[in-house]
Amino acid sequence: MPTHADVGLIGNASFAKAGSNEESKSSQMNRRAFIALSASAAAAACTTTPTGNTETRLGPDGKPLPQVYRISSVGRGRIQYRMLDSVNALRKSAGAPELQLDSKLNAAAETHARDMSVQNRPWHFGSDGSSPIDRVRRVGYQGSLVGETLSETYESELETLAAWMQQDSTRTVILDPSARDLGFAWHQEPNGKIWWTMVLGAPGNAGPTPSATPAAAS
């Protein structure tokens, strides 16, 4: 059964905060995101397509089978700005400053999303042993890492954001008041699985590289 995992890391916490959960594919793809954005939902219909027959198919229990969320080649920018708008709406409600998309953090997020697929594991270290701080430095980001959130799922970006907001570790990263820059990217496998990566940064000098290994999820 496919897994769903969400992991959050706070940049100044020596990789000590991490969380994960597992759900069935059916429950993942049918769970209603608590973020209700009708305009975003309409935009999503323009940038994603279901696979196979578009007619509703029923499972053995008589309920509709979930459809795979497919990301089209032209939907990249729309998805990134949809996520930015949704994150900023949540941050505004929490009294945190708005974020702006950063191309370098986008690049760092995309590199790690692809690498997680290669490793078949949602965690913060690259196949070369790189940490999130290593990756943001490699792309030339001059600020400091605030945190990184990851997900291995079949869900859309807004459903994934909803799942992140339900976990303390990932919610803390998303609402961190020190963050000003956002990087967001993904890698989708042929079977529909998506590896989402969000990286938050703060302008200024980069901090020291943590040396501890991630703590196991409780």
Residue 178 lies in a domain: yes
Q: What is the pLDDT of residue 76?
A: 77
* Helix, strand or coil, per DSSP, at residue 104: helix
Nearest CA to 137 among 208, 196, 80?
208
Per the structure, how many domains does the chain have? 1
Q: Specify if 111 maps to a domain.
A: yes
Q: Does 196 fall in a domain?
A: yes
CB 208 within 8 A of CB 3: no
**What CATH number is associated with residue 184?**
3.40.33.10
Strand (E) or helix (H) holding 108: helix 103-119
What's the Cα-to-Cα distance from 68 to each of 26, 90, 93, 171, 188, rounded to whole Å? 10, 27, 31, 26, 11
Domain membership of residue 157 (yes or no) is yes
Q: Which domain holds residue 159?
A: 82-202
Residue 72 lies in a domain: no
Residue 15 to residues 10, 122, 131, Cα–Cα distance (Å): 7, 14, 9
Does a structural domain hold residue 19?
no
Q: Could you list the mean pLDDT of each consecutive 10-residue stretch along the chain, which spans 218 residues?
A: 50 38 36 29 36 57 76 84 97 98 97 96 93 96 96 94 96 97 96 96 64 28
Question: Is residue 154 a part of any domain in this protein?
Answer: yes
Spatial CB neighbours of 124, under 8 Å, sequence gap ≥ 6? 7, 9, 15, 18, 131, 132, 148, 150, 214
pTM for the model: 0.70
> Strand, helix or coil at 64?
strand
Q: Residue 169, CB half-sphere, CA atoms under 13 Å: how many?
A: 25
57 domain residue, yes or no:
no
Burial of 93 (C-beta count, 10 Å sphere; 0-12/13-18/19+): exposed
At residue 212, the pLDDT reads 29
Which pLDDT score is estimated for 25? 38
